[in-house]
Amino acid sequence: MLTDAVSPLMETELELDNYRVADEDLPEFRDMKFENINELHIDHPGANDREYRTRRDYIAGLARNFRMTGVITDVEYSPREQRVWRYVAEELEDLHQRYASSFYLQAKKDLGITTDHIPQLSEMNRRLKELTGFRLAPIEGLVETRGFLSWLSYRVMLCTQYIRHHSQPAYTPEPDIVHESIGHIPMFTNPNFADFSQFIGHGARIATDKQLEELGRLYWFTVEFGMVEDGDDIKAYGAGLLSSFGELEHAFSDKVDRRPFDLEQVINHEYTYSDMQPVLYVIPSYEELKEVTRTYIESFAK
């Protein structure tokens, strides 16, 4: 995912206190230019299913449409897609009760995310706007790192809307609506987490290629695989953990070295996408994460 592609949002001015962004101050979505938006990989469970590919292309088309109009089209999910959701969401719900952070559990309720049906980005957007001014924008697949992270500086998260293939509901090699709405979206209702995400976005706009690589690691060990002190316990808040049965149970097993969060260690920690994570980092609080990140991103501007 890390590439050197130049984002149209790259610039040198940095303000770390413009937390809420007015509609008129958003860049035009139609100006989004990404290189290599991810097409379906050959090892994807749906790669040889023509019907699935056509459906995924149709939903990706809605995301392209959004860029032209700025209006999110709700997806009319099929009964089979809803069944995939119900299966995954119910299995994860049980694990979340044991392992997810208390903030996350409440946030999922606040956003009306249930095991019953696939939530629409438009519904969640309305609630997020009230709570933290965060926005969700449809995208048709994985995009390059700088472009993706830069949108966070406008409190915008690019989200896929299609769902994984029904033959392997527990697995997806790419982000899908399960990963986005069960993994990522609830945490954007947390003001500290929302600000922290925005700082990462600011960083991505001015980072050198080396700094961007470090930012990618910070994102990985927090937004994707983060753990947090929660009362006397350690709990999960990262989307890669919360949206995967295997990763979530593994994270709490004795096969994982759970270390106190240390920025220097994290930004220098090389990881692999494909294996289960052997080391995870535990933040003391979302506020602490925000403040450490603020200082770190401020150092980019010097």
Closest separation in Å from C-beta 223 to Fe ion? 7
Shorter beta-carbon distance to Fe ion: residue 178 or 239 = 239
Nearest to 120 by CA among 71, 67, 58, 53: 71
The whole-angstrom separation of Cα 80 and Cα 155 is: 33
Nearest to 251 by CA among 52, 41, 101: 101
Residue nearest to Fe ion (CB): 239
The whole-angstrom separation of Cα 177 and Cα 184 is: 10
- Centre a 10 Å sphere on the Cβ of residue 98 and count the other Cβ atoms it contains: 11
Closest separation in Å from C-beta 33 to Fe ion? 21
Select from 142-150, 205-213, 237-245, 260-268 the region that touches Fe ion (CB under 5 A): 237-245
Interface with Fe ion, residue 177, by CB under 5 A:
no
Select from 65-73, 77-85, 236-244, 261-269 the region that touches Fe ion (CB under 5 A): 236-244
What is the residue type of 197? S
Shorter beta-carbon distance to Fe ion: residue 236 or 239 = 239
Taking the mean position of all CA atoms in its chain, how far away is CA 65? Answer: 21
Question: Strands of 227-230's sheet, edge to edge?
Answer: 233-236, 227-230, 279-283, 257-260
Q: Give the catalytic positions in this structure.
A: 179, 184, 224, 243
Residues binding Fe ion: what is the number (CB under 5 A)? 1
Closest separation in Å from C-beta 179 to Fe ion? 6
DSSP 8-state symbol, 282: E
Sole binder of Fe ion in the list 92, 207, 215, 239 (CB under 5 A): 239
What backbone phi and psi angles, to 5 degrees, belong to 156? Answer: -125, 130
Shorter beta-carbon distance to Fe ion: residue 239 or 280 = 239
User: What is the DSSP track for 126-159?
Assistant: HHHHHHT--EEEE-SS---HHHHHHHHTTTEEEE
Select from 30-38, 232-240, 269-277, 286-294 the region that touches Fe ion (CB under 5 A): 232-240
Maximum Cα–Cα distance for the chain, whole Å? 54
Shorter beta-carbon distance to Fe ion: residue 207 or 242 = 242
Closest separation in Å from C-beta 181 to Fe ion? 11
Q: Quick one: tokens of 253?
A: 């097993």
Closest separation in Å from C-beta 12 to Fe ion? 28
Q: Quick one: tokens of 74?
A: 């709700």
Shorter beta-carbon distance to Fe ion: residue 16 or 217 = 217
Cα 138–151–269 angle (5° rounding)? 110
Shorter beta-carbon distance to Fe ion: residue 176 or 195 = 176
Closest separation in Å from C-beta 243 to Fe ion? 8
Window 135-154: contact mask with Fe ion (x via CB under 5 A): --------------------
Select from 51-59, 225-233, 234-242, 263-271 the region that touches Fe ion (CB under 5 A): 234-242
Termini Cα distance of the chain = 27
In the complex, the residues that contact Fe ion under the rule CB under 5 A are 239
